Chains A and B, each alone.
Chain A
Amino acid sequence: MATLYIDNKPYEFEEGRNLLHTCLGLGFDIPHFCWHPALDSVGACRQCAVKLFKDENDCTGTIVMSCMTAARDNMRISIDDKEAHEFRAEVIGFLMANHPHDCPVCDEGGECHLQDMTVLTGHTYREHRFKKRTHRNQDLGPFVHHEMNRCIACYRCVRFYRDYAGGKDLEVFGWHDSVYFGRHESGVLASEFAGNLVEVCPTGVFTDKTFRKHFTRKWDLCSAPSVCVHCSLGCNTIAGQRSGVLRRILNRFSEDVNGYFLCDRGRFGYEFVNGSRRVRTPLAKKGRNQKLEPLDRSAAIKRVAELFSSGRPVIGIGSGRASLESNFALRQLVGPQRFFVAESETQHSITTEIVHALRRTPASRASLRDVAKAGAVLVLGEDVTNTAPLLALAVRQACRTAALTNAHGLGIDPWNDAAIRETGHNVRSSLVVATPTLTKLDDVATTVYHAPPDDISRLGFAIAHALDGSAPAPRGLSPEIEAMARGIARDLAQAARPAVVSGAGSGSASVVEAAAGVAAALYKVNHDACLCMSLSECNSFGCTLLGGRDLTAALDAAERDNAEAVVVLEADLYRNCDPAIAGALLTLPRNVVVIDHTLTATAAMADLVLPAATFAEASGTFVNNEGRFQRFFSAIAPQAGFAPGYRWIAEILSVVGPEAPRWETLDDIVNDMESRVADCAGIRAAAPSASFREGSQKIARQSFRASGRTALLANTSVAESPNPADPDSALAFSPEGIQAPREQPLVARYWAPGINSVQAVSKYHGDPPAALVKGEAGADAAENHGAKAPAAFASHASEWLVMPLHHIFGSEELSMLSPSVASLARSALIVLNPEDAAKLSIRENDAVEVSNYALSCACVAAIASWVTKGSAALSVGRPETQGLDLPEWLWIRKAGAP
């Protein structure tokens, strides 16, 4: 620990950061704009001036920019110094000269960094006599609203968008006081991380366009810590609602997982919660072919409970998008033998393979932070930008590690962003992108290899063999690929903390085996190696821990045991397996009960639909791709019609079996699960229990400035009702309680006295708890080598190997119910090799029919040379391509052709 003297008082701090970051961490307020904890310093805005003194006898001092000065031991500075204060006030005066006086209609108002900093420096009146400079806005797509007049030219947006996220279409134009931040012309921002501009921008230039449609000030939002449901990474978020309408999603800082950023699917996919297809009351059919009609809650529970008294078994189908608690409750209701997971046979084998690989690997399991710090990255088979977007952002950061090491050698501080980028122009860490489809990471990759999944897998095996001679070598490898594998192996072996990234996206188990094999072989030569794999859904990992089998096995069990009923938990079976299997599962049993929040195709087939709560209305736990237990809390108070899945099941259980455990609260289920499922040990550590208090108080979901309490519901009844109780968490539906909790899992908003914007995050230090799924005891590293390399890809005469093509907007189920995300989704696309396209006389944008024996789907053609001849890539997750289990050999023909 070193000592820093601030205004003649000593403070302990850790060296390695700049003065600004250190002072903010110590609780001081220094006005700043261009510095951001993730983007570091460039010294552009000249706002963070402080006085630096040579020693205790120096009374004059010099003004320095605190963001560009390293904090060193025995340094003496003054923040309150008169000259420094005047300097800062003057800078704000300049920045405000052209500010457009529109806070009342600005969405940033009330959580604006510029407002906070202006108040902090004491600037009140515009002293500039001349007219204000104005700009025209651009339409930047459905996510981000642009209002250029509010700009103070801090350059944070382009630094994030271009330097950090690798975007290319946001630029700075013009010069002197007329610089303009935007695209070369109006159009949708191409980066998947554009939504972060909303949080990165210290003013209201970039605001959330979806939030604008149901705008509420920050102080009126009732917020809760949440976890993103749109991919398996489990990014930490803050969900904010008012009047039962989910208004927006913000990032919740988590050092290990998402850091300061979210992807656009996670940020804007939330609107399904307010969607028109939500089920809000129990629905039942009188007969199989009748319509679903509303039903009383107690009658619905009685009807489900009766199914259990028939003597015939009931089958339960859990899913990766339901919480661990709901899945566990279903497993307890139907029994572990009759618990299945809504995944096809192939999907399930891949998910299980990934979970086993992660738990058995001798290398460490990588968090996103580990990936971002990796010295070399091998991406094997996964288009991370589209399946787990924030993982792509982490990989992009990993490309900079060589530049950081280089800068360190030159004596440049790690926070000195501009200098590091200047010296690191030609220094790039090794990044290998070996995937079946083109990825957005190709532009920063040192090696790019696109081939069908089996060939990707063979490359993986070759790398593993090059690293460890005892690993099996693929046969008949071309010399170029062999040389490539040796080169990659060398880079990985020599790198500090190399990471292997793969996932379920390629639809190939052998790719996953290969990645696990590379990680195991790499560990033998480099003990810092780590492995990161993405899964298909937000709780796929957790669902696998509960040990259910796949849908084909479920159908077998239903047929064999003459099942009375099937209970489907938060899953649309038609999305996850062959429609024939889904159809049989939903017609064979006498009764179909669906517990879901949305009226999916599966729910429409049900005899009884119990409305489930979404992540915004329920508390629960997800296990992310790393095996990290993460708790999400309800932002919306429980409502009469619907309830979390586990609550429905608990109520059914209390009727069915009086000997069943009585689950009153979420903690009861969590404790029960921890005692019954060995793999779920550690779930309790995910977040403090409901009995947790900080200084005898609960954590407030509402800010202390929350307004309209006596008027919001006065139109229905002028008598005020008490705040809803929350027995499931240590958070209260009230403005009373702790506003800024110390525990990271309970942070419901970022706020500090005087700092109303999200920049208050700099004042929080709570790290997330290390609640990880334990590795499998006695696991042997050599076990990974049991796998064999597949044969090389060979084209067929009349069929094409159709590989999955993922789209960040379009392939995921829930985000597609959000109008803003759906507006960016294209119709199903098939990408063909130019030669194949010529053979089939298909041209770009032609209508194409892709079929197998049972199914035929219509899609639009695209032609690209990265597709290997004899293969093709087809959009997954689109309604047109449902039921296909890609990669699959399929017939392709031009629509209308014989």
Chain B
Amino acid sequence: MIALVKALWTVFLHSFRKRATIEYPEKKAYLAPRWRGRIVLTRGPDGKERCVGCYLCSAVCPVSCIALQCAEDETGRRYPEFFRINFSRCIFCGYCEEACPTYAIQLTPDYEMSEYDRQNLVYEKEDLLISGQGKYPGYDFYRVAGVSIGGKGKGEGENEQPPIDVRGLAD
């Protein structure tokens, strides 16, 4: 009997405490910048797609929910022809972001992805691609990689000498 009253008293006291529940969706929870939520594909400082279609994200994905096809434009720059993430399988582990050598794929602080139909959780490249650089501003893979693309020839990257002239006498 005493225990019952004690319990009721505790419940009564709680009604004066600060509320832990958030009035979602009117109020949003605080999410850390490094929260691993909805995956996006970012663009480089020049506004072009960062993804070069290297398949590392898809290889590292423990639930195999990323599929893509790499393609190359006429200047030698690579991009994904399609890029598909099946969010109904994604476990938001962030391995893809870790594996990405170009900072293209990033996880964002957003979890509002509920759908009535599971098919709607299949995101294509146009659903994933954002217009900004995300968490890593300023990085451009092609500036440090030795391949030439439109607007960057051989030897024009960072830390590179001008190309060798094989016909030179003493180079």
Contacts and interface: CB of A to CB of B under 8 A. Distances in A.
B64 to A, nearest CB: 4
B63 interface: yes
Nearest to B54: A104
A131 B159 contact: yes
Contacts of A136: 154, 163
B37 to A, nearest CB: 18
Contact of A711 (B56, B86, B162, B163): B86
Interface string B63-84: 1111111111000001000001
B166 A718 contact: no
**Chain B interface size range:** 35 or more
A29 interface: no
A112 to B, nearest CB: 13
Contacts of A712: 67, 84
Contacts of B145: 100-102, 104-105
Interface in A154-192: 173-174, 178, 180, 182
A310 B161 CA distance: 79
Interface in B60-108: 61, 63-72, 78, 84-86, 88-89, 101-102
Contacts of A409: none
A132 interface: yes
Contacts of B167: 173
A447 to B, nearest CB: 39
A94 interface: no
A519 to B, nearest CB: 49
A718 B88 contact: yes
A524 to B, nearest CB: 56
Contacts of A180: 164, 166
Contacts of A418: none
B139 to A, nearest CB: 13
A110 B159 CA distance: 25
Nearest to B147: A102
A714 B155 CA distance: 42
Interface stretch (B13-21, B28-36, B115-123): B115-123
A636 to B, nearest CB: 17
A110 to B, nearest CB: 8
Contacts of A132: 146, 159-161
Given A173-B166, A180-B166, A147 B147 contact: yes
* Most chain A CB inside 10 Å of its own CB: which residue of B54, B55, B146: B146
A708 B118 contact: no
B124 interface: yes
Contacts of A104: 52, 54, 56, 101-102, 141, 145
A710 interface: yes
Interface in A689-727: 705-712, 714-715, 717-718
**Chain A interface size range:** 35 or more
B96 to A, nearest CB: 11
A178 B78 contact: no
A150 B171 CA distance: 19
A104 B67 CA distance: 16
* Most chain B CB inside 10 Å of its own CB: which residue of A132, A135, A707: A707
Given A134-B162, A178-B171, A711-B66, A103 B101 contact: yes
Nearest to B124: A715
Nearest to B66: A711
A109 to B, nearest CB: 7
Given A105-B78, A180-B164, A707 B154 contact: no
Interface in B3-17: none
Interface in B127-168: 141, 144-148, 154-155, 159-164, 166-167
A147 B141 CA distance: 17
Contacts, number: 132
Interface stretch (A212-220, A273-281, A429-437, A438-446): A212-220
A401 interface: no
B64 A707 contact: yes
B85 A711 contact: yes
A131 B164 CA distance: 13
A219 B59 contact: yes
Contacts of A236: none
A102 B146 contact: yes
Interface string A402-431: 000000000000000000000000000000
B146 A100 contact: yes
A133 interface: yes
A346 interface: no
Contact of B59 (A100, A178, A215, A217): A217
A169 to B, nearest CB: 15
A173 B169 CA distance: 11
Interface string A652-665: 00000000000000
Given A104-B101, A134-B160, A178-B164, A707 B54 contact: no
Contact of B86 (A135, A178, A216, A714): A714
Contacts of A219: 59
B146 A149 contact: yes
A882 interface: no
A718 B163 contact: no
A69 interface: no
B63 A133 contact: no
Nearest to A182: B166
A711 B64 contact: yes
Nearest to A126: B159
A137 interface: yes
A131 B166 contact: no
B84 A715 contact: yes
Given A104-B56, A134-B161, A707-B66, A718 B118 contact: yes
A109 B84 contact: no
A150 B13 CA distance: 71
A877 to B, nearest CB: 33
A777 to B, nearest CB: 56
Nearest to B120: A718
Contacts of A710: 63-65, 86, 89
Nearest to A128: B159
A774 to B, nearest CB: 48
A776 B118 CA distance: 65
A220 to B, nearest CB: 7
Contacts of B146: 99-102, 132, 134, 149-150
Nearest to B82: A715
B58 interface: yes
Contacts of A149: 146-147, 154
Interface string A278-298: 000000000000000000000
B164 A134 contact: yes
Given A711-B85, A714-B67, A212 B72 contact: yes
Contact of B61 (A134, A147, A217, A707): A707
Given A104-B145, A137-B154, A147-B147, A711 B54 contact: no
Contacts of A147: 147
B146 to A, nearest CB: 2
Nearest to B159: A131
B52 A105 contact: yes
A216 B154 CA distance: 25
10 tightest Cβ-Cβ pairs between the two chains A and B: A100-B146, A708-B67, A104-B54, A711-B67, A102-B145, A709-B64, A134-B155, A149-B146, A707-B58, A173-B166
8 contacts: A101-B146, A104-B56, A104-B145, A135-B164, A215-B53, A216-B55, A706-B64, A708-B66
Interface of A: 99-105, 109-110, 131-137, 147, 149-150, 173-174, 178, 180, 182, 212, 214-217, 219-220, 243, 705-712, 714-715, 717-718
Given A103-B54, A134-B146, A708-B58, 9 more contacts: A100-B145, A101-B146, A102-B145, A147-B147, A174-B164, A710-B89, A711-B64, A718-B119, A718-B122
